[in-house]
Amino acid sequence: EAQVTQNPRYLITVTGKKLTVTCSQNMNHEYMSWYRQDPGLGLRQIYYSMNVEVTDKGDVPEGYKVSRKEKRNFPLILESPSPNQTSLYFCASRWRGTDYEQYFGPGTRLTVT
Amino acid sequence: DQQVKQNSPSLSVQEGRISILNCDYTNSMFDYFLWYKKYPAEGPTFLISISSIKDKNEDGRFTVFLNKSAKHLSLHIVPSQPGDSAVYFCAASASGANSKLTFGKGITLSVRP
């Protein structure tokens, strides 16, 4: 089954404790990205990657890091989480080219206290 | 500066009637538009798209209309069903493999039985 998976689905952590949210896709997509969803703000892109070892900032990259060492994986790293990073996070992937349909993961609900 | 605007945060319609969800955009470079549907505790799923070379695209009960001169698109759902109750995101992108999707804030549709 074609899918994007994220782990963990729910995470409660404390300020400053480094964490990683994993994302994996099995569709051989080149393009992957991370979004956060906040009430009244919709979906905002954090980082994206066009292919292995190619990453770039989205609209709200501050406080986040990513890496793309393998085509299927695109982890999101919060080196020192803060309460304003409490949010719902989605990973997504798609093919490059004119087909812009993105496939989203199920989401990770992160709470930073 | 919000480039994709969904000005109505919510819409309530009676089952069997038409639902019309509106979306406006400001970036004249956008040439591909998509609608995503999101249920609680799930990731967004692709619903329907339209290229700027068309003014209408239909898929079953869902039709998207594009008015390029007004920079406006709308999603029509006919007939509306209770299972259509969800958050609907409008998204847009400009040509190019590297182009990202810009999302609106979303509209919560409630279909009353």
Q: Which of A47, A102, A109 to mutate to test the interface with B (most CBs of B within 10 A)?
A: A102
Q: Which of B34, B103, B108 to mutate to test the interface with A (most CBs of A within 10 A)?
A: B103
DSSP string, B52-76: TT-SEEEETTEEEEEETTTTEEEEE
Nearest partner of B37 among B70, B59, B55, B15, judged by Cα = B59
Report how far residue B39's alpha carbon sits from residue B41's, in angstroms, rounded to the nearest whole number: 6
Tell me which residue in A42, A98, A105 faces B105 most closely, judged by beta carbons.
Answer: A42
Q: Do A50 and B98 touch (CB under 8 A)?
A: yes
DSSP E strand boundaries for chain A: 4-7, 10-13, 19-25, 31-38, 42-51, 54-57, 65-66, 76-78, 87-94, 103-104, 108-112
CB pairs under 8 A between A and B: 55
Per-residue pLDDT of chain A (113 residues; tens, 9 = 90+): 889 999 999 999 999 999 999 999 999 999 999 999 998 898 999 999 989 999 999 999 999 999 999 999 999 999 999 999 999 999 999 987 656 688 999 999 999 99
Strands A19-25 and A76-78: antiparallel
pLDDT, tens digit, for every residue of B2-52?
A: 899 998 999 999 999 999 999 999 999 999 999 999 999 899 999 999 999
pLDDT, tens digit, for every residue of B86-97?
A: 999 999 988 765
Answer whether residue B109 shows pLDDT above 90.
yes
3 state SS of A107: coil
- Nearest C-alpha in A relative to B49: A101
